[in-house]
Amino acid sequence: MHLLFAIAASLLTVPAHGHAGHDVEREMAERRQFLATHTNNLAHCESVHRASGLEQRTVERRLEMAKRLSGDENIMKRQTSSVNKSHKSDKSYNSATDPAVVFAGNRSCVLSPETTEGPFYVTGESIRTKLVDGEKGVPLHLDIQVIDVNTCKPLTGIFLEMWNANSTGVYSGALAIPNGSGMGDKGNLNKGFLRGAQSTDKDGVAQFETIFPGHYTGRATHVHVITHHNAVAEANNTIWNSKVSHIGQAFFDQDLIDQVEKVAPYSTNRQSRMRNAVDSILLQEAATADPFFEYVLLGNTVADGIFAWFSFGVNTTYTRGIMPVAMAYKEGGKMATNNPKLPGFSQMFPGGFPTSFQPGFGPSPTPKV
């Protein structure tokens, strides 16, 4: 299995960068404050998960999914042992390694609520597993598990929402100068590729089919994830929710990113790349937890697809409002407006950016079914 690289502590002195218009230093300070009073990993849950059978079910599910996606019963024997290293140890894995060691996913982190949702969150997205919508890129199959850090039990029946940029660094559903397509593609506002939500199952799991995210200026390659505890599925199979329990970002091994970037259409992306080692949000995440996907290749190269998994914990007693850039209606997208929290940023978006859909910050969205 291809696992993830070690980020040296010395790199934490790198200057802050991030999405345009974001105060990354403030976000990092809020993260430090949160972590001072909250558990930042799931190590204390390992014995509970083992005794309850959750760990074994997790191993079996992920192993079977890897076999099914690859069509290869011996998929683990094909993984390149020279890069099979955990980024938290020097232990290598090979074809004889117990699948329980590979797929248990104990290297997991708390999805800290102060982690930024970024400037491209869209509310009103569809409840679905398949997110690709015809986008070209390396197939990425995800198995994401959510655990309550206070009880160590899986969070069942909550909505897990995710979104990521396409192969050339464009987020669907938004018109914005920082977005990969800028303001030129007006039709992008009506698109919803690589966005969606799923209700978690009895083991706290949601699975998605997407493509590996492309890079864009100012950030390392990542996937956004949000958990909604009180969201309700609308009649048109979407969720509209102004409050979320937790927000986070998950990252990939730099070696894996480098391989993907050689494949078309990723190789045509002319936006500047930021490597993991200089992404300030990633570095602070990695200093206290483990914000990386683990993965296996589904064929001989990355172009054949990737199966990746991630387990994270959330503190269910914490909620916050979220600031979408746009609303996805049945008739098409609509840019959000009237957000006094971000003065001076509205010139990047028609009508201003974004509304948080909290009392006093503009109208709450009403889904059109």
- What pLDDT digit, counting tens, does each position of 201-247 carry? 999 999 999 999 999 988 999 999 999 888 888 888 998 876 788 78
| 134, amino acid identity | G
Evaluate if residue 366 carries a pLDDT over 90.
Answer: no
* Alpha helix segments (H runs only) across the chain: 24-35, 46-52, 54-70, 99-103, 254-260, 280-288
Give the Cα separation of 156 and 151 in Å (integer).
Answer: 13
Residue 27 is predicted with a pLDDT of 52
CB contact burial 4-25 (16+ within 10 A = b; e otherwise): bbebeeebeeeebbbbebbebe
Give the Cα separation of 316 and 318 in Å (integer).
Answer: 5
Residue 256 is predicted with a pLDDT of 95
Residue 269 is predicted with a pLDDT of 94
Evaluate if residue 361 carries a pLDDT over 80.
Answer: no
Give the Cα separation of 26 and 280 in Å (integer).
Answer: 12
Give the Cα separation of 148 and 108 in Å (integer).
Answer: 12
pLDDT in tens, 295-340: 999 998 999 999 999 898 888 888 888 878 778 887 788 777 654 3
What is the mean predicted confidence (pLDDT) over 251-262? 95
CB atoms < 10 A from the CB of 344, how many?
A: 7
What is the mean predicted confidence (pLDDT) over 238-259? 87
Evaluate if residue 169 carries a pLDDT over 80.
Answer: yes
Residue 280 pLDDT level (bands cut at 50, 70, 90): confident
Residue with tokens 């940029």: 165
Residue with tokens 């995800």: 142
Kindly compute the dihedral angle of the four CA atoms of residues 334, 336, 338, 343, in this order, to the nearest 10 degrees. Answer: -130
Kindly compute the dihedral angle of the four CA atoms of residues 2, 265, 220, 344, in this order, to the nearest 10 degrees. Answer: -160
Residue with tokens 């929290």: 341
| 274, amino acid identity | M
Evaluate if residue 16 carries a pLDDT over 80.
Answer: no
Residue 85 is predicted with a pLDDT of 38
Token output for 265: 């259409």
Is there a contact between 182 and 196 (Cβ–Cβ < 8 Å)?
no
